[in-house]
C-alpha cells in the first residue's frame, strides 16, 4: 500500500530581516507620538518610593497607588532620559519627618519628600527652592495623589503631575532635545533644612501661612479691642464738647439777663 503525501498548494513565506525591520518601524511610528522620537530627554516630575535607604521608581502612578502608613514618598523634578533615574537627593527616615505628627486611628501618616531639582533642570535656569519634607496626615484609603495634594499645590493633566507648588509655571513633561552638560552631571546629595525652619508639615495650609489659627484669632481680638477703645474715647470727647458748649451757652444767657450798672442808674 503506497503512502500518499499531500503538499500545500500555497507558498511558505519566510519573512526576511529587512521586511521585519520595516514592519517594526511602521509600528513604532504609530505608537510613539510625533516629535518625541527626536527628544533626548524629558523635563518632568518623577514619582518614587523609599525602600530602606534607597529610592525606587514607583511601579504605578500616584492615582493607582495607596501608600501605607509609615511609608515615605518622593517626588523629583529633573531633566532625564527614559533610561535615566533622577531620584530625590535626600533620604530622610519616616520618624525624622512624621515623628512629631500625632497619630489618628482614622488616618495614616505618610512622609513626602519634594525635590524641586537643580538650576540645570529648570527651563529658565533659575535657582529652585531647596528640597523639603512634610508629613501628610490623610484618610487610610487615600491614594498617592491625595497624599501629595495634602502637602503641595498640584497642577496635573490627565493623571500626569505637571507642576508642584507652581514649578514649572507652564508645560508638562516637556521634551528636551539637547541636554546640557550641567543637566547630565551626577547629582550632589543635599541635606534638609532643620525642622524648625521648615514649619509645620502636617497641614499644607498651616505650612504655607506660617501661623496657627490661635494666633490669627488673637490678632483679630486685639484689633477689635483697639477699635472699641478708640470708639469709647471718641464718644467721651463728644460728650465733653457737648457739656462745655452747654455751660458756655448758659453763662452767656445769664450775662444777658443781668442789667448793667449803667442801665440801673
Predicted confidence (pLDDT) per residue in 15-69, tens digit: 444 443 333 333 333 333 444 445 679 999 999 999 999 999 999 999 999 999 9
Distance CA 65, CA 47 (A): 11
Distance from chain centroid for Cα 117:
14
What per-residue confidence (pLDDT) applies to 40?
Answer: 79
Q: Distance between CA 262 and CA 221 in Å, rounded? A: 66
Share of the chain above pLDDT 70, in %: 58
CA distance 132 to 126: 18
**Dihedral pair phi/psi, residue 189, rounded to 5°:** -60, 145
More confident position, 54 or 13: 54
Separation in Å, CA 100 to CA 23, 94, 113, 193, 208: 59, 11, 16, 16, 18
pLDDT of residue 260: 43
State the cell numbers at 193: 533644612
pTM: 0.63
Is the CB of residue 212 less than 8 Å from the CB of residue 206?
yes
For the ranges 47-61, 73-87, 141-155, 245-259, which has the lowest average pLDDT?
245-259
Strands 132-139 and 107-115, by their bridges, are antiparallel
Q: Which of 180, 160, 198, 183 is nearest to 44 (CA)?
A: 160
Contact status, residue 87 vs residue 46, Cβ threshold 8 Å: yes
Tell me the CA distances in angstroms from 135 to 31, 42, 202, one per residue in order.
Answer: 40, 29, 5
State the Cα–Cα distance between residues 90 and 171, nearest whole angstrom.
26
pLDDT in tens, 149-202: 999 999 999 989 999 999 999 999 999 999 999 999 999 989 997 764 444 444
Domain residue limits, the chain: 38-202, 211-239
Q: Rounded CA gap, 152 and 148, in Å?
A: 6
Question: For residue 53, what pLDDT is reported?
Answer: 94
Tell me if the bond preceding 168 is cis, omega within 30° of 0.
Answer: yes
CB of 71 closer than 8 Å to CB of 95: no
Q: Which residues pair with 41 in a beta bridge?
A: 176
Amino acid at each position: 500500500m503506497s503512502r500518499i503525501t499531500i503538499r500545500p498548494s500555497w507558498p511558505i513565506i519566510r519573512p526576511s530581516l529587512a521586511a521585519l525591520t520595516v514592519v517594526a518601524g511602521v509600528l513604532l511610528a504609530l505608537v510613539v507620538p510625533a516629535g518625541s522620537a527626536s527628544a533626548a530627554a524629558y523635563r518632568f516630575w518623577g514619582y518614587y518610593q523609599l525602600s530602606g535607604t534607597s529610592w525606587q521608581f514607583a511601579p504605578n502612578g500616584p492615582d493607582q497607588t495607596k501608600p501605607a502608613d509609615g511609608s515615605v514618598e518622593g517626588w523629583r523634578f529633573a531633566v532625564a532620559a527614559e533610561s535615566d533615574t533622577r531620584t530625590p537627593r535626600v533620604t530622610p527616615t519616616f520618624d525624622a519627618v512624621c515623628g512629631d505628627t500625632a497619630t489618628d486611628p482614622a488616618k495614616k501618616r505618610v512622609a513626602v519628600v519634594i525635590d524641586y531639582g537643580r538650576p540645570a533642570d529648570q527651563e529658565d535656569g533659575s535657582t529652585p527652592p531647596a528640597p523639603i519634607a512634610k508629613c501628610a496626615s490623610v484618610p487610610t484609603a487615600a491614594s498617592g495623589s491625595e497624599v501629595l495634594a495634602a502637602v503641595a499645590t498640584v497642577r496635573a493633566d490627565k493623571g500626569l503631575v505637571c507642576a508642584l507648588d507652581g514649578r514649572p509655571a507652564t508645560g508638562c513633561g516637556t521634551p528636551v532635545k539637547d541636554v546640557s552638560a550641567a543637566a547630565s552631571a551626577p547629582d550632589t546629595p543635599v541635606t534638609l533644612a532643620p525642622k524648625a525652619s521648615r514649619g509645620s508639615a502636617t497641614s499644607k495650609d498651616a505650612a504655607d501661612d506660617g501661623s496657627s489659627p490661635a494666633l490669627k484669632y488673637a490678632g483679630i481680638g486685639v484689633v477689635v479691642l483697639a477699635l472699641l477703645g478708640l470708639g469709647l474715647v471718641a464718644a467721651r470727647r463728644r460728650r465733653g464738647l457737648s457739656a462745655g458748649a452747654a455751660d458756655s451757652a448758659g453763662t452767656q444767657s445769664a450775662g444777658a439777663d443781668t442789667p448793667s450798672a449803667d442801665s440801673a442808674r
